[in-house]
Structure 1
Amino acid sequence: MAEATRLVRQGRLLEATARLQEGLGGRTPTMPTAPRTPGPRARTSGRAPGTVTRGAARAAGGTLAYRLYVPTTLRPAAPLLVLLHGGTQDADAFAAATGSDEAAERAGVVVVAPEQSRSANAMGYWNWFRPGDQGRDAGEPALIAAATRDVAERYGTDRARTAVAGFSAGGAMAAVMAATHPDLFCGAGVHSGLPFRAAHDVGSAFAVMSTPPARVADGGPVPLIAVHGDDDRTVAVGNGEAVVRSALAGSGRVEHARTTGRAPGGRAWTRERWAEPGGRALAESWTVHGMGHAWSGGRAGGSYTDPGGPDALAVMLAFVGFTDDGPVG
């Protein structure tokens, strides 16, 4: 942190960005050895039988490649999930880590995974902290939205059931997408990420990663679920709480419920839910106790995964209404 701040003050932004990238996960952590536990439904082993293809979307003068999974269980007006990888990952590594192909096959969900250009960020991080990538009609949000629309049009997915989710820098960008494109998404999942417009440059990104913001921007009307480990040393757990505050910033009176549980043979969790009085859910938070900077319930040996946590992808799909699974444990 001190080194990055010093580099920013000296105007050495490229070197400071490299430090930021390392801080967001450039060093592979030693993950806990807790046994892998399934989510609400057991995952099948091996490769899912659906189709994996590649595509590219164009917007605002740029191009964004993406990975696409189409399940064999595809039906007309299927749900669509946009999945944003973390730093140092690519779309294939993220799909393998989260088991998204298998989850999509079970639920009949089309999954498009945009892949950050290495020319935009050498380590593959979404530039969630740059003002030019925090608006609607330019930068990375415009490209991700273009990929979403391309796939939705090609496969006739349900425009009312399109959600976005991501991990770390991808989680922060998912919050950006929910705030800037409320007409496009019915829900958003932010795993180990940060709230919308929490930073405006490299220095402030470093600061907010370790010290979550006391004040947050209005994250917009899209319902949002946050998942975060309370032993995260890369993106402090308070950022998950800030994500929820941002999602609730424009709300009136809300009802709050809290439950606890434990993934079978794995980690304990606390789930909080905020909803309109007697109505729809506005936000949900899963705090996974003892987990670091990792995808909860991911595959053993995957990129930034903690197999001992509840299945984050399963709870996100349930939150946005793509499945009817309940809490884990």
Structure 2
Amino acid sequence: MKWFAAALLALGAATAHSQENCGGPETPCEISAGTYHIVLPEGPGPHPVMVFLHGAGGKGAALVGSGGISGTAVSRGYAYIAPNGLIRPGRMRSGWSFHPFFVKRRDERAFIRDVLADATKRFNLDPKRTILAGFSIGGSLASYIACDHPSDFSAYAPVAGNLWRPHPEHCAGPVRLLHTHGWRDKTVPLEGRILRQIGDKTLAQGDVFHAMLIWRTVNGCANYRADQFDTKGLFWRRIWNKCFPSTALELALFDGGHGVPPGWADMVLDWFEGLDANAD
């Protein structure tokens, strides 16, 4: 993560600003391109980081309560960051400006990168232990960052959000990625769906199974099928482990619709910490 080291040098010593009076639901931290919220665990750090991108119409402020995903992450020693999307012109709901069919209001990848750099300076975070997750369209943005700039984060965990059609012809790779999806999701189905026509173009969600083929390709996986299966808990997990060294790829399905299921945060953090343990 050369860009991150350079950003930290430019920002100065992280420990000089270990706590700032911002980040709560009512007082977001501000950078030039937008705002974010953050919840910190106890202790001086440096803390590992989960960045979670909200869905369409969501707000980061709603994600930093004492319970839910943020509560799980913080209880396990993670700093939990919830950036804010922008309101599109003529709309009342927030979203992420990355789809090629729409005018980009900002460079979302650069914004997320700058959020992480700013939070590391303010709150003494660990840039070597970072996971980018997101729900629905936030999961889609996380997937595109994983595709185009996989070294921005240590690992990726999109839930109920995916690459869109036309699918990328290739991704930079390799990646460490766990995609989670509801078996009965009708808002973002596993196979995707057509949303509407924009001129001569069709706005359509992507196919999760096609995305998994892309990830298998960039990770150099030996098999199309999964190498390992796990159905003991709340999730039906398909795991590819005969791939390039230091990569990871899983698909976790659950019996539900469009949402983040109970137990998701613990599953993802167990997976992430297992990657670090195996690397050691």
For the criterion TM > 0.5, the same-fold answer is: yes
Counterparts of 2:49 and 2:274 in 1: how far apart (Å)?
9
Is the Cα contact below 8 Å between 2:175 and 2:247 reproduced in 1? no
2:116 corresponds, among 120, 123, 148, to 148
Q: Per-residue displacement from partner, 1:142-166 (whole Å, max 9, x unpaired)?
A: 1111111111222232221111000
Give the Cα separation in 1 of the matches to 2:66 and 2:209. 24
Alpha-carbon distance between aligned partners in 2 of 1:216 and 1:259, rounded to the nearest angstrom: 30
Do the aligned residues in 2 keep the contact of 1:273 with 1:281 (CA within 8 Å)? no
Bigger strand fraction: 2
| Stretch moving more, 164-173 or 91-100 | 91-100
> Contact 2:46–2:125 at 8 Å: present in 1 too?
yes
| Cα pair distance change 1:153/1:322, threshold 3 Å | farther
In structure 1, stretches of 5+ residues that fail to align are 1-50, 205-212, 264-268, 298-310, 325-329
Give the equivalent residue in structure 2 for 1:220: 173
Q: TM-score, normalised by structure 1?
A: 0.63
**Aligned equivalents of 1:67, 1:248: Cα separation in 2:** 34
Of 23, 29, 44, the residue aligned with 1:55 is: 29
- 1:98 is displaced (CA, Å) by 7.2
The residue aligned with 1:167 is 135
Deviation at 1:216, TM superposition (A): 5.2
- CA 1:162–1:193 in 2, change beyond 3 Å: closer, same or farther? same
Which amino acid is 1:149 matched to? A
Alignment of 1:1-329 (within 5 A): 52=24, 54-58=28-32, 63-72=33-42, 74-96=43-65, 99-119=68-88, 122-130=92-100, 139-195=107-163, 198-199=164-165, 217-218=170-171, 220-238=173-191, 239-254=207-222, 256-263=227-234, 269-276=235-242, 280-289=246-255, 291-297=256-262, 311-321=263-273
Aligned Cα root-mean-square deviation (Å): 3.0
In structure 2, distance between residues paired with 1:282 and 1:218: 15
CA, structure 1 residues 186+132, in 2 after alignment: closer, same or farther (shift >3 Å)? farther
Determine the C-alpha separation between the residues in 2 that align with 1:182 and 1:95: 26
Write the deviation string for residues 128-147 of structure 1: whole angstroms up to 9, x where unpaired. Answer: 4227889xxx6111111111
Q: 1:65 to 1:288 in 2, by over 3 A?
A: same
Flag the 1:257–1:279 CA change in 2: closer, same or farther, 3 A: farther
Q: Which moved more, 1:314-323 or 1:226-235?
A: 314-323
Task: Give 2:17's aligned residue.
Answer: none
Percent identity over the alignment is 23
Contact 1:67 1:92 in 2 (8 A): yes
Secondary structure class of the residue paired with 2:71: helix
The SS at the match of 2:150 is coil
Distance 1:169 1:100, change over 3 A: same
Q: How many residues align?
A: 233
Instruction: Specify the alignment match of 1:29 in structure 2.
Output: none
**8 A Cα contact 2:173 2:219, kept in partner:** no
How far the C-alpha of 1:66 sits from its partner, in A, is 0.6
Tell me the CA shift for residue 219 of structure 1.
5.7
Structure-1 residue corresponding to 2:194? none
> What letter corresponds to residue 85 of structure 2 in structure 1?
Q
Aligned mates of 2:126, 2:46 — CA distance in 1: 4
Q: 1:67 to 1:93 in 2, by over 3 A?
A: same
Q: CA deviation at 1:236?
A: 1.2
CA distance in 2, matches of 1:97, 1:261: 29
Is the 1:166–1:173 Cα contact (8 Å) retained in structure 2?
yes
CA separation in 2, counterparts of 1:99 and 1:108?
Answer: 15
Contact 2:148 2:171 in 1 (8 A): no
